Structure formats: C-alpha cells, structure tokens
Amino acid sequence: MSRRALRLWGTLFLAALAACPATMAGAATPSHAPAATAGIQTAAARRPATGTRHRRSRARRAPPGGVVWARNAIVVDPATGEVLYQKNSAAAEPCASLTKMMTALVLLEQKPDMDRVVEVTQAELSGGGHTQLRRGEQVRIGDLLHMSLMCSDNVATRVLARESGLAPDDFLARMNRKAVELGLARTRFVEFTGLDERNVSTAADIATLLHTAAANETIQEISTTRSYDFRSLSAKNRTRLHHIGTTNRLLGRYDIRGGKTGFIQEAGYCFATWIHTDSRDMIAVVMGAPTNATRFADVVRLVQHTSTQGVAPGGL
C-alpha cells in the first residue's frame, strides 16, 4: 500500500474514532436521560405527597378547636368563679367515678371513725369490678376512703356507704340534697360509685363539686397522695399488705390541690383537678375524653391555653 493510501486510511480511522464517542454519547443520552429525569420527577412528586400526608396526619391529631378532645370541658378560677374556658360545659353527661367526690363528702359529714375496722362482704364485691379487696377481709374506714378516692375502688366505696350509719336510700337522698345545696342543677345520682350511667352531671357542676370537695382537708390530703400502703386482715386472720397508687397522672408534674378521675363506657374518660400555677389557680374538668392519656393531655392543654390566651369567649 502506498504512503498516500496509508495516510488516507489513517485520516478516515481518526475521523471514525472522533465520531464514535459523540455518536455513542448521543445514543446514550436519549436512552438514560428520560429514566433519570423521570426518577427525579417521581422523587420530587413523592416528597410533597409525603409531606402532605404528614401534615394531614398532624392535623388529624390536633384536637377540635385546638384545645381538647373531650366532649365537655371547663376551666374555672376557684378564687373568683370566672370561667376561663368552656366547651359544652352545661350538658349533662354520665359522670362515672367523679361521683365518688360526693360520696366522700356525704360520708365525712357523718363523722366516721377512720380507725374503725369493717368487713367486706360479697354484696359489695358483686359487680364491683377490679379490686384488691376480698370477701371477709377486715379493713379500716380510713384505708377504704384512700382506695375510693385514689384508685377509684368501687368495692371500697360501697363498703363506706354501707358503714356510714345511713340506710342506702338515705345516703343516696343525702347525695342529691347536697347537690341541690351546692347549686348543681343538672346533677343526679342513683348509686354511690358512678358505675351506673344514670349518675349524671355537667363539667360546670363537677367544677363546683371539686371546689367543695378539695376544701375538705381529708379529701384534699387523700386526693393529692401519690401512693399509699396499708395492712388489712384476711378472712383467715392473715395480714394482707396493700399498695395503691393514684390514678391522677398529673400529680408530681403540677402543684395539685385536689382531683378525681372517672371512666365507664357511657361516660368516656373523665378528669377533674385543681391546679396551682404561678399566675393563678385553676379548676379544670374534662368529660368524655376518648382515651385515658387524652384526658390528662387535655387538661395540660387547657392550662397552657388559659394561661396564654386569657379568658375564652362563651361562658356557661
């Protein structure tokens, strides 16, 4: 092959090499770029959607109106009676174990001997729900009152009513007369514990009831106790050690002056408490909260809301 031919073939070969990367790159760009672009667009599209879902999820978790999940609520200044917040506070609803504040008031009016030992019978145990007490057990009146107010024991509450010195009908009548005396116009009791959904009250009435109950030194002391130990005597004359704790989860977090929890299916989760803050005292009541934890979270939000927002519009 001549030198001229070699130069020609070399020129053509170099031209082909120069053209190939461009051709290959040109071919690769259309095939890969759409996929990469699509991937970027898909990820970008997903991110806002995910963020939207998170925002919607957070929005669903926010209480209606931004304050409480409970159906009924109120916050009152106990010093002035000023209503700081309210939501359906005049609607009569089942009040569950908030009833026990009234039971305790009527019992203490009878001036019982707190050291007197009484017996638990099957009558109190039947349908009383969860309890540490057993048939034939011998327990002090004062210990039973701690069980009633701290851990909302229905059996203990029934024994207290039986041992009050009043006949059951008279004790119940006294509970309802006391409600009238306190101005609890929409409150009605048909039994001592709150297990019956026909025990009804309003958030506003319960706030007044708690104000009266917490003014009683014995009730205030018991309802602000976090844990309590006592001994009883079993039916076989053996000593039993009892340890009970409060159902009020806010004790220890706030300066609490009194309070009571309650729950039955018809009432939902209820909670009434007297909280002392740096700025003012507040009595907060929630009724019909959807979960145990929610009722306490609702009260915390109420305290924060009223502390920062001042008096809410409305009233009773």
Q: Which residue numbers belong to the known binding site for substrate? A: 260
Q: Is 257 helix (H, G, I), strand (E, B) or coil?
A: strand
Annotated binding site: 260
Contact between 57 and 284 (Cβ < 8 Å): no
Contact between 268 and 247 (Cβ < 8 Å): no
152 catalytic residue (yes or no)? yes
Q: Is 271 helix (H, G, I), strand (E, B) or coil?
A: strand
- Rounded to 5 degrees, φ, ψ at 312 are -85, 150
Q: Which of 112, 162, 116, 106 is nearest to 139 (CA)?
A: 116
Contact between 139 and 162 (Cβ < 8 Å): no
- Rounded to 5 degrees, φ, ψ at 162 are -65, -35
Tokens at 154, concatenated: 């229905």
Task: Point out the catalytic residue in the list 152, 164, 223, 232.
Answer: 152
Task: Point out the catalytic residue in the list 87, 89, 97, 164.
Answer: 97
Task: Point out the catalytic residue in the list 100, 148, 223, 232.
Answer: 100
CA 117 – CA 297 distance, rounded (Å): 39
CA 41 – CA 256 distance, rounded (Å): 55
Question: What is 4-23 written as a DSSP string?
Answer: HHHHHHHHHHHHHHHHHHHH
100 catalytic residue (yes or no)? yes
Contact between 245 and 225 (Cβ < 8 Å): no
97 catalytic residue (yes or no)? yes
Q: How many CB atoms lie within 10 A of CB 107?
A: 28
Tokens at 201, concatenated: 């009250």
Active site (catalytic) residues? 97, 100, 152
